[in-house]
Amino acid sequence: MSGGAGGDPRRLLRLPPDVEPYPAEPSDEELAEELGLPVERVVRFDMNTLGGGPLPGVVAALAAYPAGRVVEYGDQAYRALRAAVSTATGAPGLRVIPGAGADELIRLVTTAAVGQGDRVVIPTPTFPMFEVEARLAGATVRSVPRREPASRQAVDEILDAARGSGARLVWLCSPNNPTGDRFPAEEIAALAGELQIMGTLLVVDAVYQELAEASEGLGPEALSLLQLQDRHANLVILRSLAKAYGLAGARVGYLVVPLQLAATFDAARLPLSVSGPSEAAALGALSDPAAARERHASVVAERGRIAGELAGRGWEALPSVTNFVLLRPPRTGATAAELGEALLARGLVVRTYPDGPLRDWLRITARAAVENDRLLAALDELD
């Protein structure tokens, strides 16, 4: 029976009825069918995944993974994975909290920090899952928008929003998606210090960190953030192997948390959410840092080539320390939306923004050189 005295079945749930889900992207197969193209002609410049295919260590690890292991549970403590992350980043293994990609960890942090009626501050534009999860938890979101895409928010603006709203949680995406820039460690330190006095958690999404290091030729910025955790027990760092290590499909991420919060987060995480094959792929990716750094340098160089060539044609390109670049086409030609549709018809998928402050911009992920050449040639045809 249905439609009885119980009324609207949504009343059975405690979820906010007005929550908007993260927009679902069509698969390569769906796009190919819709466009009438072979699926191999579809190239995703919209997902910020690592160009060039899987790293050699990943291929080897998956080839060696025993099929019989899929019927058994793995190590719930993730000892090997935590040790590999510790070696790669310098983070003590006890402070590493693994999860099934950044999305699961965003939910873990949000549900651990906020509940019904709490406030969350989010500088925008940024990764939309921060707001999705905050609203699912029943929190109110206070956005701190940029005045324009190239102008990063001042720390004081974020602090004022946190103080004014009594925020329990502040998100900071650095390097930021979709703009590609990042906050200096000194500014993060200042923000963490002030928020600690307020009793507010600061979470820095640093999933593009390795690409930033390759872009700037610096040592691991993550180490300075880890050092900040020794002084600020309210600072949590979010990392992922999806972008820099090419494991978007495997879904492996991790938090690095202050020692004072490690046991609490470890108890709150889902057990065994990272599958055995995914953990094996992660261990393979982290086993050969030289190969990863070589790929990062190649992708960063390709990002620079795309930005440079299009800037030479009159496009505006925002400085980026990631594997993607935000670009605005010349105002005298086709709009960003029109170019996005024309590229899509050719099987080349770029990120467009139907409305809001980025509606005149395209975000393009740098991929392998041959794929980037195809994109640039298509834009030549459309010019």
The predicted pLDDT at position 223 comes to 55
pLDDT at position 333: 87
> What does each of the 383 residues of the chain score in pLDDT, given as a tens digit?
444 556 777 777 777 777 777 778 899 999 999 999 999 999 999 999 999 999 999 999 999 999 999 999 999 999 999 999 999 999 999 999 999 999 999 999 999 999 999 999 999 999 999 999 999 999 999 999 999 999 999 999 999 999 999 999 999 999 999 999 999 999 999 999 999 999 999 999 999 999 999 998 765 555 588 889 989 999 999 999 999 999 999 999 999 999 999 999 999 999 999 999 999 999 999 999 999 999 999 999 999 999 999 999 999 999 999 999 999 999 888 999 999 999 999 999 999 999 999 999 999 999 999 999 999 999 999 97
Domain ranges, ordered by start, for the chain: 24-45+290-382, 56-287
pLDDT on residue 226: 87
Same fold, 24-45+290-382 and 56-287: no
pLDDT of residue 68: 95
What pLDDT, in 10s, does the model give residues 242-300?
999 999 999 999 999 999 999 999 999 999 999 999 999 999 999 999 999 999 999 99
The H or E element spanning position 222 is helix 221-231
pLDDT of residue 353: 95
pTM (two decimals): 0.94
CATH architecture of the domain with range 24-45+290-382: Alpha-Beta Complex (3.90)
Amino acid at 315: W
* Fold entry, domain 56-287: Aspartate Aminotransferase; domain 2 (3.40.640)
Could you give the CA distance from residue 113 to residue 111 in angstroms, rounded to a whole number? 6
Q: Is 98 helix (H, G, I), strand (E, B) or coil?
A: strand
Helix (H) or strand (E) holding 43: strand 43-44
Q: Closest Cα partner for 106 from 269, 248, 260?
A: 269
- pLDDT, tens digit, for every residue of 26-52? 999 999 999 999 999 999 999 999 999
Task: For 138-202, give the DSSP string.
Answer: TPEEEEEE-SSTT-PPPHHHHHHHHHHHT-SEEEEESSPTTT-----HHHHHHHHHHHHHHT-EE
